[in-house]
Structure 1
Amino acid sequence: TLNCVKLLHPWPLSLKTNSWNGPTQPFLRVYPWTVQADRKRAFNNSWFTHFTWSEYSQSHDSAYCFACRHFSLPNTPETPFTAQGGYSNWKKAMYKDGGFKWHEKSEGHVNAMFAWSEYKKNILTDSSIRDALDQAYIKKVEENRMYIKTIAEVLRLTAMQNIAQRGHIETEGSQNKGNFLIELIARHNPLIAKKMNASGNAKYLSNTIQNEIFECLSDMVRESIIQEVKESEVFSVIADETKDLKKSEQLSLVLRYYYNGAVHESFLDFQRASELGCLERYGLDYKSNLVGQGYDGAAVMSGRCNGVAARIKAEAKYAFYVHCNAHCLNLVIVDSVKAVPEVDCFFILLQKLYVYISGSYVHEKWLSVQRDMYKDAPRELQRLSDTRWACRYHACKNLMDRLLAVLRVLHEIDVENSGERSVEARGLLIQIDLTFIATLAVFRKILAGSCFDDLWQQTLETAKNCNVAVEAVEKRTQRGSSRLSEYLVESTVGQRRCKEGDKDKFRIAVFYPILDLLNEELQRRFSKNNCDIMRGIQALNPKGEIFLEERTVLRLACLFDCDVEDLKHELYQTKKVIQRKAQCGTELSSILDFTSFLEPYKEVFHQLFRLCRIAIALPVSSANCERSFSALKLIKNHFRTTMNDDRLGNIGVLSIERRRARSLNLDAFVERFTHQHQNRCIQLS
């Protein structure tokens, strides 16, 4: 053990006080001189080379011994080189019996030099050990980060491909541990194999770690989407609901916005709650920037009183509700016909016929009867769909054309007396009456009053061909007044007594109510605000007949609180600019082209550019939500029904937004995971 001398007096400030920085050896051009033995004498910096232990104090103009100052043993006699004043007799500095050489031979100095040498060895050894430890630690951290990065890359791949990560049994002896490819990679990567075969439980392969990795990756995707939405300023929310295989309601949330010259509809999450909390959680200013909301029309989503649309509109005044345009007109017809009991029963019976005819035994007979009765190829009855009205039209058309064959099949099965099948056929036969055929004829033709007589005539002909009873219509008879009963009545006046026939009853009970309800549904679903929005969008389309028509554009502008006076001036100037550009061959073909055209001048045409972005951001359809349901079915399939909602939403983002997921920087992911993950068992930083 080294016992360094305790400093009993302060050394000059120009000398170093620590032992690890070495002697103080300033190389000066000129050192201070003093007159000694009638000559000017001064310190010589060449002495630093000959006596490496020497050091010089500029404040005292004296020489000292670094080794003796720091490493002298206790009780070592003091010399001029260890005294507070130092050595300054430059005349005798190089004498053999005095000065530097004499001090170098002293016993105290020799011991101090030995101690200093040992100290330097220890310092070098400690430094080497520290360097070695630091290098080993850095290497270990790099290996751990590469390991986590590889796990994340595998999980990202499985999420984008919609395949399960984990198997049913994941014990060591399991022959099928799922599609988590880390073991396959370990066979070809010694580093991964080393980490997986290491002792302890820090393998980072558990479902909990997987969930944390999925959360980090999906949050990075969401942040890129949110950043684009914030830069675009205005956006719309599109949502739709469906049930997963666990019968849990899942809400698909999509954001629509204009960014970088293109329209984007980006999936954000699957959620159970249908509130605004998700928008607030992601830092979106929906109260000012949400300009539209599009849903599927379900009561929970678009109800006037309790629906989400009404609640959002109460907080975000610009968030106009736009029904999915792919379904809007279709649902006008669906809701109208369902409100008429006779028509509702008609379509229920139509679906029952489809289900019955589609049975294996009945279907064989159905094909056989058609081949016997018709020369052309057999036809199939169509299944009904609320969201595909064309399917209902084809269902009515095929049944009308093959009604005689349907009746024959039902009659043949009825007379077979084959139990439940025959009973069901008999029940269907009874319900195919004149009203059913009339309704069938109506929904095959255009619903217009002028064609009602033709429809009724076709109904009678079809009923006659199919031997369906037609009730005789009593002629209208005149009824005389009771007060004239005792008189000779040559002619009568007053009320007419009439028994309504099937034709009049059908016209009043079915045909007219359908037309009335169609009109009501059209007015409800295509409100004044919605019509103003659609006409305003058309006025921003360069190919539209009313392109930049001031009155129409201003109606749209008033809905979103634009500065009308500024907008009028901008419209005038924009028309002039477009005319000049047209002379140069620049042609705009869509509202997207028009918006991109205005973007370089957005500070000049601020109001018009904002309107264009709003028009683009407004919802069109819920098709992307429907596509997300397809991904939902692939992710949460029959083998993965126990998946929790957070994992489902995170994997859903990586699957649906796979373009963004594929471009993620996994080094940035490791940094994020390092800060978010708690209780780390391996060093990542």
Structure 2
Amino acid sequence: MSLLSKKLGLDYKSSLVGLGFDGASVMSGGISGVQKRIKEKALFAYYVHCCGHKLNLVLTSVAKNVPQASEFFSLLEEVYIFASNAVVHEKFLSIQREMFPEEHIREFQHLSDTRWWCQATSCDDALLRLECIIRLLKETSADDTGARAVSARGLLAQMDPEFVCLLQFFSEILGKINKVSHWLQDKQADLGKAAKLISCLREDLADVRNSNLIENYSNMVDELSVTLPVTSASCERCFSKMKIVKTFLRNSMTSERLSNTALLSVESKRAESIDLDSFVDEFDSRHDNCRIKLH
């Protein structure tokens, strides 16, 4: 922190006003967590729990504590596992090509407690390809024998009207939540807009339920709300990118090259917008190797 402050020419002890982490105790702990240790030196720093992580925690808790939701997602996961079998998967793709020849192939996603976009994507795909799923289960139960046929019959028996209603319901609800979740992971987001967005989401969900149990969030429009961080998701992507960039074959690259390569990978959208001709001209004017002829 001190080295970064010197490099940027800032005094973090007096300038730092916001910290954004996930809820892990090593980061958010009030006794010996990172935020506590930083606040001991930067007295004006205020800790904000990543809004993207908080939304994910709420969804996970609700899904586990509401029996209908828990059973629905368990069934959806079983469909994914069944369709992941090599033989079944190939048959599922063939059915999609036959029934929807003009549309792209849809694949089921493994459901994860930490990536709720998987749930939203799986619900959309299952809803759009419900006819294919039913046909797949019927053909498998009729043509195959053994454990695969038994699994197909069991899944088919649970594809009742209640499942279809829940599929439609969660597809609509998770579609709304997924849009908010993606926005909360934007590093340009500020706390005031995040509060308004979550407030709108709560109102939409209240309208779906026809209930007034959830009160609207108050609008946070002061200057501090624009300064405080909203999410740490984009920072955490750097660790995933490092694993992709620094492979076994690239194990000897220097820290500076790793940092620069990872930066290009993380900021891929900005990197793609670079004018390569200008980049080559700039590199040609700086390098001293006469054996490299760029023009």
Query: What TM-score comes out, normalization by structure 1 length?
Result: 0.28
Matches within 5 A, 1:93-492: 225-229=4-8, 231-234=9-12, 285=13, 290-298=16-24, 300-302=26-28, 308=33, 311-312=36-37, 315=40, 317-325=43-51, 329=55, 332-374=58-100, 376-377=102-103, 379-383=105-109, 384=111, 386=113, 389-446=116-173, 448=205, 451=208
> Could you tell me whether the CA contact under 8 Å between 1:293 and 1:309 is conserved in 2?
no
> Could you tell me whether the CA contact under 8 Å between 1:382 and 1:392 is conserved in 2?
no
Consecutive unaligned residues of structure 1, counting only runs of 5 or more, are: 1-221, 235-284, 454-511, 538-555, 560-590, 592-614, 661-685
How far residue 331 of structure 1 moved from its aligned partner, in angstroms, is 5.1
Question: 1:223 and 1:451, CA in 2 relative to 1: closer, same or farther beyond 3 A?
Answer: closer
**How many angstroms apart in 2 are the aligned matches of 1:409 and 1:299?**
45
Alignment length (residue pairs) = 230
Q: What amino acid maps onto 1:421 in structure 2? A: R
The structure with more helix, counted as a fraction of residues: 2
**How many angstroms apart in 2 are the aligned matches of 1:659 and 1:412?**
47
- How big is the alpha-carbon RMSD for the aligned residues of Structure 1 and Structure 2? 4.3
**How many angstroms apart in 2 are the aligned matches of 1:223 and 1:307?**
19
Question: 1:292 and 1:338, CA in 2 relative to 1: closer, same or farther beyond 3 A?
Answer: farther
**How many angstroms apart in 2 are the aligned matches of 1:224 and 1:450?**
50
> Could you tell me whether the CA contact under 8 Å between 1:410 and 1:425 is conserved in 2?
yes
> Could you tell me whether the CA contact under 8 Å between 2:25 and 2:33 is conserved in 1?
no
CA deviation string 1:575-595 (max 9, x = no partner): xxxxxxxxxxxxxxxx9xxxx
> Could you tell me whether the CA contact under 8 Å between 2:245 and 2:258 is conserved in 1?
no
> Could you tell me whether the CA contact under 8 Å between 1:631 and 1:652 is conserved in 2?
no
Q: Tell me the percent identity.
A: 33
> Could you tell me whether the CA contact under 8 Å between 2:18 and 2:47 is conserved in 1?
yes
Q: What amino acid maps onto 1:301 in structure 2? A: M
**How many angstroms apart in 2 are the aligned matches of 1:359 and 1:289?**
55
How far residue 624 of structure 1 moved from its aligned partner, in angstroms, is 2.9
Residue number in structure 2 paired with 1:112: none
Query: Which has the greater radius of gyration?
Result: 1
Consecutive unaligned residues of structure 2, counting only runs of 5 or more, are: 174-203, 264-295
> Could you tell me whether the CA contact under 8 Å between 1:325 and 1:621 is conserved in 2?
yes
How far residue 312 of structure 1 moved from its aligned partner, in angstroms, is 4.0
SS across alignment from 1:322:
strand
How far residue 441 of structure 1 moved from its aligned partner, in angstroms, is 1.7
The structure with more strand, counted as a fraction of residues: 1
CA deviation string 1:234-275 (max 9, x = no partner): 3xxxxxxxxxxxxxxxxxxxxxxxxxxxxxxxxxxxxxxxxx
> Could you tell me whether the CA contact under 8 Å between 1:379 and 1:398 is conserved in 2?
no
> Could you tell me whether the CA contact under 8 Å between 2:123 and 2:171 is conserved in 1?
yes
Residue number in structure 2 paired with 1:491: none
Query: What TM-score comes out, normalization by structure 2 length?
Result: 0.58
SS across alignment from 2:171:
coil
Residue number in structure 2 paired with 1:42: none
**How many angstroms apart in 1 are the aligned matches of 2:256 and 2:240?**
12
CA deviation string 1:450-477 (max 9, x = no partner): 5569xxxxxxxxxxxxxxxxxxxxxxxx
SS across alignment from 1:297:
coil
How far residue 399 of structure 1 moved from its aligned partner, in angstroms, is 0.9
Question: Does the alignment pair 1:536 with 2:146?
Answer: no
**How many angstroms apart in 2 are the aligned matches of 1:225 and 1:314?**
17
Q: In the alignment, which of 240, 244, 269 is matched to residue 629 of structure 1?
A: 240
CA deviation string 1:157-194 (max 9, x = no partner): xxxxxxxxxxxxxxxxxxxxxxxxxxxxxxxxxxxxxx
How far residue 362 of structure 1 moved from its aligned partner, in angstroms, is 1.0
**How many angstroms apart in 2 are the aligned matches of 1:332 and 1:653?**
39
Question: Does the alignment pair 1:619 with 2:222?
Answer: no
